[in-house]
Amino acid sequence: MRTIGLIGGMSWESSAEYYRLLNELVRERLGGLHSARCVLHSVDFAEIEEFQRAGEWERAGDVLAAAAKGLEAAGADLVLICTNTMHKVADQVAAAVSVPLLHLGDATAGAVRARGIRRVGLLGTAFTMEQDFYRDRLRSHGLEVVTPDADDRALVHRVIYEELCLGVVRDESRAAYQEVISRLVEEGGAEGVILGCTEIELLIRQEHSPVPVFPTTRLHAEAAVTAALA
């Protein structure tokens, strides 16, 4: 079994989900007392969030690249950035290490295509929904990507940073997200919806959507376990 390196802490709420999923998936596949070989570098999210707000992505990338180097030195055979938004600096992180970086967007796009879906809605932080780094990665796999309108994007972003990243899960916010998803389907023609922020899975599950949802944390963890056991 290869060792999985995790760049986490963005937020630690979703990083805890990564750890749980990796170990559950390894146990499911190998049985018995097996668990995942992994090392975790958990950053201080407040520092990263300041860089995000200021648009200082290269400085944020420096922090994550240093984390990746530490994971490789600790024995990681592959590296995961445990957040969709910070895949904006994925190339910078990948260039810092000699082991593979398993891109979350690739794992997600593969799952979408496997369901025969081509037009997909994208929920995430404002950075993920509005900038090209993530949408273009999905489009490179032949997907059409639709995002909510400006008001809905602001709502989705606010709930992520002011609630989910703090471990707050509110029924009112779930209902609001369900309305956003309905509009993506009815007005945007989305055949499925990517939960393109690792915290959204704390709020939305398949039963909350009329179309297939793609939980990126789980999909990333599944891809990592497959690579680790290959």
Query: Alpha-carbon distance 144 to 139, whole Å?
Result: 6
Assess whether 217 carries a catalytic annotation.
no
- Of 38, 83, 108, 198, the active-site residue reads 83
Alpha-carbon span 197 to 129, nearest angstrom: 10
Strand pairing category for 192-195 and 213-215: parallel
- Distance in angstroms (rounded) separating the CA atoms of residues 104 and 11: 16
- Which residue among 197, 198, 216, 217 is the active-site one? 197
Long-range contacts of 66-73 (CB under 8 A, 24+ apart): 66/96, 67/7, 67/41, 67/43, 68/5, 68/7, 68/41, 68/93, 68/96, 68/97, 68/101, 69/96, 69/97, 70/41, 71/5, 71/6, 71/7, 71/39, 71/41, 71/97, 72/5, 72/97, 72/98, 72/99
Local structure of residue 201 (DSSP, 8 states) = G
Annotated catalytic residue 147: no
Burial label, 200 (beta-carbon count in 10 A; 0-12, 13-18, 19+): buried
Instruction: Tell me the catalytic residues.
Output: 83, 197
